[in-house]
Amino acid sequence: MKPIRLLIADDHMVVRTGLRHLFETEPGFAVVADVENGAEAVEAVVEHRPDIVLMDLQMPVMDGVEAIRRIRSRPGAPPVLVLTTYDSDAQILAAVEAGASGYLLKDAPRDLLFDSVRSCVAGGSPLAPSVAARLLTHVGNRTLASEPLTGRELEVVALVARGASNREIARDLRISEATVKTHLLHIFEKLCVGDRTSAVTTALERGLIRLPGQ
């Protein structure tokens, strides 16, 4: 199998060097470039065509959120996995709405980082546990009774249950992948879960969706 080709964007040279070493010494990964700001990240995506971008948020010249937005607006854009020290509600939501596929903190264990990169490339949306928890509470305590899933959200979670990736969901529903991710965040909040698998399980248990053939 071909290695997953990564682009690293972080304004701290020590972080970039550490991440490059981490991935270059792990089978199945190859770092194609590392850059120090969002503007360079946008250019490097065009030049190197990576399979995934690891993106910090706070960077000079162009921040990570704007870089994500520009990268994800291009046809055939790679997924972007945020890797940052910031876990505020505003930062998380801004990154996801810009098109980020996942959101990890820099203290994430190496195995979680590797698995999250693989998940993003496969169409997943990995979230750090603390990030998932903040997403569940950023608008206060919601309940299923007061915040039922909308028709569109039911369509999204039903497609997730069928194994569809974010890209496939976007294609089938004729919406952007960023919109799919926003719907997933709302689904996670309303069902009080932190990932796609739990969302499907909870929706099935509550009779909100059915698997094919049921």
Cβ distance 181 to 96 under 8 Å?
yes
Give the Cα separation of 57 and 91 in Å (integer): 8
Range in 18-32, 71-85, 131-145 the model is least confident about? 131-145
CA dihedral 107, 110, 111, 114 (to 10 degrees): 100
Q: What is the mean pLDDT of residues 55-75?
A: 93
Q: Do domains 4-136 and 142-205 have the same CATH topology?
A: no
Cα Dmax for the chain? 53
Q: Which residues pair with 9 in a beta bridge?
A: 35, 55
Q: In the chain, what percentage of residues exceed pLDDT 70?
A: 90
In the chain, domain spans: 4-136, 142-205
What's the fold here for domain 142-205? Arc Repressor Mutant, subunit A (1.10.10)
pTM of the model as a whole = 0.67
Q: Which residue has the tokens 């689904």?
A: 187
> pLDDT at residue 98 above 90?
no
Q: What is the mean pLDDT of residues 92-97?
A: 82
Cβ distance 188 to 194 under 8 Å?
yes
What does the mean pLDDT of the chain come to? 87
DSSP per residue over 5-31, as a string? EEEEE-S-HHHHHHHHHHHHTSTTEEE
Q: What is the mean pLDDT of residues 86-92?
A: 76
Give the Cα separation of 199 and 203 in Å (integer): 6
14-57 residue pLDDT tens:
999 999 999 999 999 999 999 999 999 999 999 999 999 999 99
Distances (CA, A) of 142 to 155, 184, 211: 20, 15, 26
Q: Which CATH superfamily is domain 4-136 in?
A: Response regulator (3.40.50.2300)
User: Half-sphere exposure of residue 95, counting CA atoms within 13 Å on the CB side?
Assistant: 30
155-190 residue pLDDT tens:
999 999 888 999 999 999 999 988 999 999 889 888
Give the Cα separation of 29 and 118 in Å (integer): 10
Of residues 166 and 212, more confidence is placed in 166
* Token duo for residue 146: 């007061």
> pLDDT at residue 150 above 80?
yes
> pLDDT at residue 136 above 60?
no
